[in-house]
Structure 1
Amino acid sequence: MSQPHINSSNDEWNKFAPSFMKLATDGPGVAPAQNMVKVAAEVFPFSSASAILDIGCGPGQVTAAALEAHGLELPETARVVALDLSPVMIQQVENRKKTEIENGATLWNKVEPMICNCTDLSAFPDNSVSHAFAAFVLFMVPQARVALDEIRRVLTNENGGGIVALSSWQGSEWMELIGFVTKVRPEKSAPKMPPTWATLEGIRGELEATGFRDIEVHTVEAFMPFNNYDEIARFILTQFPGMNKMTSDMSREELEKVRNLMVEFIKSRHPVAPGRLTGTAIVGVGRK
């Protein structure tokens, strides 16, 4: 049986969006987002930004990192656009924008949430974008190179060429936990990272194949905090995208066995709670 790759449907992401917001400010995507913004700023200063795209924005972690670190440097005319294919996820970003502004983070007034497929960026003209970010999204896109071609098209030729920064997963404890379903039901197949997107060499190759240059690829440690073992096990088992499909035909007893195995694993790796599950992200950066 072939190994399924991570490729959750839009419906799954719509269902996952409210739960995903729990990870918005203290989840595994935060440190990689901050790193992507930092590295991009070193190549193309945000003070010269024309438009910033947060592609597959999820809860807006890259948007938040960019505004926090460089929001005051942005030209008045610069756009900050948060793009996602999931209407429910975009609604979550709208809600976050409203909350951030109410809490005094007025830079969020610049944020434009937009429903958009990353393989079709026709809403943006050629050479109109200075910074394009794609955090943990392209490995789920069946036509990832089409998306990269679109990103390269919209990036500017000015200031040495616009910058793309993307991220993927080399591995993580939460992905290991997803696979525990197969310990109870061996005939099932747990989703895996596509091999190309799980290595530094693979991601470099994707950027090179789509014409990017000055490519730099590195790893970033990431963490998923948890308060207690049972809570994080139940969250992964019931809230992660793709899990409902894997577990829909499992009995309550089988699900309880999976949860118990998850708890045992987490305790073996992290004897003290609260704690943090660990993962390793890959960040790739390239110029047009």
Structure 2
Amino acid sequence: MSQTLSSSADEWSRFAPSFMKMAADGPGVLPAHSMVAAADGSYAFSSASLILDIGTGPGQIPSAILGAYGHTIPESARLVASDFSAGIVEQLEQRKKLEIENGHSLWARLETMVCDATDLSAFSDGSVSHAFAGFVLFMVPQARVALDEIHRVLSSQNGGGFFALSSWQGSEWIELMSFVTKVRPDKLLPQLGPTWRTVEGIRGELEATGFQGVEVHSVETYMPFEDHDEIARYILTEFPGMKRLTSDMTRQELERTRDLMVEDIKSRHPTAPGRLVGTALVGVGRK
């Protein structure tokens, strides 16, 4: 048996400072660039009216947009990054401030908002030209409601608004989370539902919502680490949902779990620093 990967807004708020450490060099960077490049190739950012990033996390998608296409976005267009976690949004505001201080003036265009993926009532019908949902929908208990909302707010102009999402086909860090059950077989592990870890599943969800021209492709990515023990501890104790999962484990059980994780990481990546590897799935479509 298993539980879902969903976590509360408070859990994500507590994770926010750690999450921000992966903003520029983490698992979401390469998929974000893939999503953004696909967007401009399908519906050029030079024609954007409102770009919406749903479940923005550390802001990897806005960063990719501003870095590659920021100068092409019309002055009248808006760029909005939203997340249901106030802590995540607060951290992104801090990143925005630092980016501007470091001379990246286009970051001043970024608006942030606390907003649930299943309630986009802050945006009117047909007002969004580009929407993104990076590594979020598989954690939303009512994912189809979120997809319906995204479809509603997308424009019907220029051949239909563009949407891109990302999910996980698999990764070494997700596999490492399962080591808890080697020490505590009674534990119910968070799992990614079959809908979101296959090409067919993602395509089916998008087409069932009404998206046209749906394509799904894989992107190889990674999670960097400096030290074997540190990355094991990070996955075991910092990931949202893992603290809840391990809250009743003894110190000895946690240490044994971490030892098993370190042993596995070293068997795959003997030297440090190194990279855990993963495969993301990116799905795109038009309204």
Indicate whether the TM-score tops 0.5: yes
Normalising by the residue count of structure 1, what TM-score does the alignment of the two structures yield? 0.99
Between the aligned partners of 1:235 and 1:27, the Cα distance in structure 2 is 14
The equivalent residue for 2:70 is 71
Q: CA deviation at 1:155?
A: 0.7
The equivalent residue for 2:80 is 81
Between the aligned partners of 2:193 and 2:21, the Cα distance in structure 1 is 26
Between the aligned partners of 2:177 and 2:251, the Cα distance in structure 1 is 17
Q: CA deviation at 1:86?
A: 0.2
**Unpaired runs of at least 5, structure 1:** none
The equivalent residue for 1:206 is 205
Task: Give the partner amino acid of 2:15.
Answer: F
Q: CA deviation at 1:12?
A: 1.1
The equivalent residue for 2:38 is 39
1:217-271 CA distance string (max 9 Å, x none):
0000110000110111111111100111111111111110011001000001111
Between the aligned partners of 1:226 and 1:244, the Cα distance in structure 2 is 20
- Give the number of aligned pairs: 287
Q: Which runs of 4+ in 1 moved over 4 A?
A: none
The equivalent residue for 1:115 is 114
Task: Give the partner amino acid of 2:183.
Answer: V
The equivalent residue for 1:187 is 186
Pairs within 5 Å for 1:239-278: 239-278=238-277
Normalising by the residue count of structure 2, what TM-score does the alignment of the two structures yield? 0.99
**Unpaired runs of at least 5, structure 2:** none
Between the aligned partners of 2:194 and 2:6, the Cα distance in structure 1 is 13
The equivalent residue for 2:24 is 25
Secondary structure, aligned partner of 1:27: coil
The equivalent residue for 2:141 is 142
Q: CA deviation at 1:58?
A: 0.5
Between the aligned partners of 1:7 and 1:88, the Cα distance in structure 2 is 16
Task: Give the partner amino acid of 1:258.
Answer: T
Between the aligned partners of 1:141 and 1:251, the Cα distance in structure 2 is 31
Between the aligned partners of 1:70 and 1:250, the Cα distance in structure 2 is 48
Instruction: Say whether 1:12 aligns with 2:11.
Output: yes
Pairs within 5 Å for 1:216-255: 216-255=215-254
The equivalent residue for 2:56 is 57
Secondary structure, aligned partner of 2:223: strand
1:43-100 CA distance string (max 9 Å, x none):
0000000011110000100010111010010000110000000000000010000000
Identity, % of aligned pairs? 67
